[in-house]
Each structure stands twice: as structure tokens, then as C-alpha cells.
Amino acid sequence: MGSSEIISVIKKQFPDFAALSTGEAYPDEVLIKVRPQDFKNTCLVLHKNLPSPVMLLFALDERRESSKFLLNCVFADFKNSRWITVGMDIAQENPGFDSLAKSIYSASLFEREIREMFGIEPRDNPDLRRLRLHDEVWPKGNYPLRKDFQKMQAGNLGDYKFSRVEGEGIFEVPVGPVHAGIIGPGHFRFSAAGEPIINLETRLGFTHRGVEKLFEGKAYFEALRLAECVAGDSGFAHSLAFAQAAEKISGVIIPKQTAYLRGLFLELERMYNHVNDLGGMATDVGFSFPAAYASIIKEAILQLNARLTGSRYLKKVNTIGGVLADIDASGKEALLGSLKDIKHDFNELVKILRSSVSFMDRVDATGVLKRKTAEDLGVAGLVARSSGIPTDLRRYFPGVYREVDFKMITQQSGDVLARLNLRVLEFAESCRLIEEFAARIKQGEKIRVESGSKGGSALGYAEAWRGPVLYWLKTNSGGLIERCKIADPSFLNWQGLSYALLGNIIPDFPLCNKSFDLSYAGNDL
């Protein structure tokens, strides 16, 4: 949809709608600025018609420039490979806006985030609890993402209220934040009646490091290093999304060679994480042999990464305007050779898992996330595809993936087995994509171009192994960052886990959790 088409669709339902302005700064971005009274309706129409969950909803503090806050809501128009942003102004006195949460669930968490970070009230949102600034340690009235925030001021502390399930024989099992394994911190509270779980409440935020604020005032290259450390297992995807946003603002067109290399590294990142999760699922049902096998395959991919780029986690590979690691003839040979072994070992691993009846019995029909629920929650990426929702940025915003004939993979059943099978199929597809990209890489081609620093704003995005990673970036005329809004797919997908678990037994929680394998750090920012 072009902006005029979008406006006519909205007008059909709301005759007195009037857009304040429209803009198409980039071929893949449309911005519609609306009056505050039209904001909610516009979002509803886009949500229903595209259809798209709220991909991003965030505020900006522009009080210094224009005495206002801004609110932006981003939707994905998959059919036309475009992002549609709806924007509105919020007055600085008693700032607030009409909540979308009751009509579009995926807006709910973003609204809570805006409230705690900016002190802007989402009117009529039924859940106003804080997500990341824990009430026990962060006094009321401190809004870190406001521009005039300097240091925390002392004030009243509060407490967090877990939702309580009551009834005869109901008991609660609190777990965390420090878990038994070598893993990030989070608090899970199970309410169970006998064996089945009837409610799971997840309290996260324990790894909150104030990442978005840290981006502010930084130049691109320094910020890029920070982006790599937002979620360590998706470092490349995060740096890619950030670099893409910066390149759009600077008007840089990256060379073809760079695009192939980036695609190749993105798929390598997907592969080591997917095989890691297969091993994790085996571990969580006590099936240690394939788990050990999977960890050997993961190690082989990490060593391949190090051989190609010098970093096992593909850090310091991306830069603004290109990549720093080229693949020469011997590198390509090592890549294709290792890939052959990795593929072989992976197929063996899958065979071992699938031939074990007791393993298959544990994963089949466990932790079902129904398609309807998944759509309502607005979950993204791998989890959404496993529940039958066709969503993959590599398919709908293809770029170089068009040339290599990318096949999007979906599963229908939404259980642990579906998420396992999806990973198996995606792993094979990633191998194929890497071979295709490698075949297109030529020696001695340019892999990066110079980029200046201009002021502006843009959205960068990449389909990481978990799902879409989005970076909305705004810079000033000196090229320093004014605002950086990050969305890791974990942010919305944690909600999916709580629903997938209902009716399952607590011992299946680790298995379900691993089948989602969400990032604590990426969620907590």
C-alpha cells in the first residue's frame, strides 16, 4: 500500500480521518503523521487490514526541540515489502495517549515500556506494572529515557504484584532469577493444580543494562560494538540491523559482495543456534548422547566462524557500509569443506533423535501454541512459523535472498516437535543458502564503502535465527545518535511461552522453554 491508498482505506471506516502529513523517506518505509484522536483508529485499521502485529511502538522525547513527545507505531506490510509507521505528538503536560492494548495485544508490552521509561501514560491499559525497572530497586518518578534524566533521584520504592491464582489445592512454584543451569536470569512463577500448570507468570528485566540510553550521544562505529552485545547469540543480526539503519540514513548503497557475505554470516549464526537448541531439547529430556553430539556440531560451526572472521560469535565483522571480513579462496574451501562435515553430522543427529520413541513421545504434542493464540499475541519469527504463520523477513523483505530462491519454512502443529522440525528444515536451508552465497562471492571485489554521517531516521531490520530484529534509529546532523529503539523477537515471544505451557506439567517446562529458546538479554535490553 502506498500512503494515499492507506489513507483511503482508513477514510472508508472513519470518514472524518485526516492525515497531518505523509512521507516516504525510503522505498521500504511509509510514515503517516496523524492527529492524536485518530491514532488509535489508524493503528486498528492497519492491524486488521495488513494484517500485522505491532512490530514496534515507542516514544521520543522532543521537548527541547518542539515541547512535545512523539509516539511512533510501526506495522509490517509484508505483501508490499514496506514498513508503515503511524506517528502522533503528545503534549508535554500530563503526557498520555489512548492505549491500544485492549484491541491489539502486541501493543501491551510496548506501552508498559513507554510508561516506565518516559512517564507517558497509556490510558486504559489494564496492566501498568513495570517490566525492567524493578519496583524494589528503582524509585518512582525516575524516567531514564527522558532527555533531562541525569541520575536517579531518591524516592519511594514499590513492590511487584504477581497475579494470583486461588482455589482448593492450587500451589505456586517460584523459580529464579538464578537458575540451575548456565543461563540468564529470569523469574518464573508456576501456579499448578496437581500436575498441570494453570498459569505461568514470567518476570524478566534482570539483565536490564539501560542499552537504549547508552546508544544516545554515540557515533555509529562505537554504537555498532554496543549493538553486538545486546544479545550475544544474535550479535551478527543485531549489528546488521543497526548497520542497515545507519546506512539508510547516510544514503549508502552497499556493494553486492557485501550483501552476499552478510547473508552468509547471518545463516552461520542461525545454524550454530539451531543445532544448539536441538541439543538443548535432548538435554532437557535427559537424552545426553545426542546433546553431546549437537555440542560438537555447534563447536565446529563456531570454529568455522573463527576461521573465517577471527570471531567465534561474528563480532567486529560488520561495519557501517560493509563488512570487515572477506572470504578468500582458501577461506571458501575451508567453508565448503566444513559445511559438508557439518551437514553429515547434523543428519546423523536428526536420525538419532527421530529414531528414539521415548524422545519423540516427549516432544510430540507438548507445549502447543495454537495459531490463533500466536496471532493474537503477535509472536514473531521461528515461534510464529512453527504455529503456521507465514512470517519471515527473508521472504518478505528479500534483498539478496531473492537471488538464491529462499524457501520460507512453516510448520502447522505449534508444539515442541514443530519447533524442532522447523529448526531441522531451516538448518538444511541455511546450508544451501550459504553454498549459494559462497558461489557468488568473487575474489578482490569491494566489500565496504565509505559512509558519511547525516542526520535523519530510519528502520533497520534482519531476520535473526529467533525472528525479526528491528532497530529504529534517529541521528542529529553531526551523526550522533538521538534515539535508538531496539526490538528483539524475544520481547513478544516470551508471552507465547506462557500460553504454550498451559495444561502441561512443570517437568516439561525446560523442554518447552528450550524449544522457544528466548533471549533474556535481548528482552531486557
Binding-site ranges for other proteins (CB under 8 A): 132-134, 136-138, 144, 149, 151-152, 177-178, 180-185, 205-211, 213-214, 225-226, 229-233, 235, 276, 289, 292-293, 295-296, 298-300, 302-303, 312-313, 315, 341, 345, 348, 351-352, 355-356, 519-521, 524
Q: Report whether 250 contacts 242 (CB < 8 A).
A: no
CA distance 267 to 442: 19
- Under the phi-then-psi rule, with left for phi > 0, alpha for psi from -120 to 50, and beta for the rest, what region is 314? left
Helices (H) and strands (E) in the chain, counts: 18, 15
Sequence-ordered strand ranges (E) for 280-372:
318-319, 322-323
Closest separation in Å from C-beta 44 to other proteins: 34
| CB contact set of 167 (below 8 Å; sequence gap of 6+) | 193
Closest separation in Å from C-beta 518 to other proteins: 11
Q: Report whether 448 contacts 470 (CB < 8 A).
A: no
Closest separation in Å from C-beta 362 to other proteins: 16
Nearer CB in complex with other proteins: 352/408: 352
Nearer CB in complex with other proteins: 207/319: 207
Nearer CB in complex with other proteins: 280/456: 280
Q: Which residue has the cell 488509535?
A: 40
| CB contact set of 390 (below 8 Å; sequence gap of 6+) | 408, 410
Nearer CB in complex with other proteins: 94/150: 150
DSSP string, 116-134: HHH--EEET-S----SSS-
Closest separation in Å from C-beta 23 to other proteins: 33
Nearer CB in complex with other proteins: 350/418: 350
Closest separation in Å from C-beta 398 to other proteins: 29
Nearer CB in complex with other proteins: 78/149: 149
CA max distance for the chain: 72
Closest separation in Å from C-beta 91 to other proteins: 26
Q: The sheet that has 187-193: what strands, in order across it?
A: 170-175, 187-193, 197-203
Closest separation in Å from C-beta 408 to other proteins: 27
Sequence-ordered strand ranges (E) for 11-130:
19-26, 29-34, 56-62, 68-77, 82-91, 96-98, 121-123
Nearer CB in complex with other proteins: 30/231: 231
Which among 91, 102, 94, 92 is positioned nearest to 40, based on CA atoms? 102
